[in-house]
Amino acid sequence: GDSVTQMEGPVTLSEEAFLTINCTYTATGYPSLFWYVQYPGEGLQLLLKATKADDKGSNKGFEATYRKETTSFHLEKGSVQVSDSAVYFCALLNAGGTSYGKLTFGQGTILTVHP
């Protein structure tokens, strides 16, 4: 079945540091890939997405490129802020086969940014 693996956390950075959160996936066909962010006590917010190979999703300074050859969708940001502290989830959507429309999530990576 489909699966998503994220780098283990927690990740602790100083403000203005460079961020990378690794995400790799296993899926049949051509899934769409997503990054969601969850702030404490809140629901998930869609951060960015990519629907086909070599697509780059970007939003709020975050970027991720859909790499089919390495089955990866790593999240990056050049300069993190304290307000970026949250849990980040990588997810895939595989509409083929019996997966219908369900999202498959990674386990989440906790990011803490210190001033």
Q: Write out the residues near another protein by the rule CB under 8 A.
A: 32, 36, 42-46, 49, 51, 89, 93, 95, 98, 100-108
* Torsion (CA) 5, 92, 59, 73 in degrees, nearest 10: 40
- The SS3 call for residue 83 is helix
User: C-beta of 45: minimal distance to another protein in Å?
Assistant: 7
Nearer to another protein, 78 or 96 (CB): 96
Nearer to another protein, 106 or 113 (CB): 106
Query: Whose structure tokens read 């089955």?
Result: 71
User: C-beta of 3: minimal distance to another protein in Å?
Assistant: 11
- The SS3 call for residue 81 is coil
User: C-beta of 15: minimal distance to another protein in Å?
Assistant: 26
Nearer to another protein, 68 or 78 (CB): 68
Task: Answer for the pair 6, 22: CB distance below 8 angstroms, yes or no.
Answer: yes
27 to 24, 50, 52, 104: CA distances (angstroms): 10, 15, 13, 10
User: C-beta of 42: minimal distance to another protein in Å?
Assistant: 6
Nearer to another protein, 18 or 30 (CB): 30
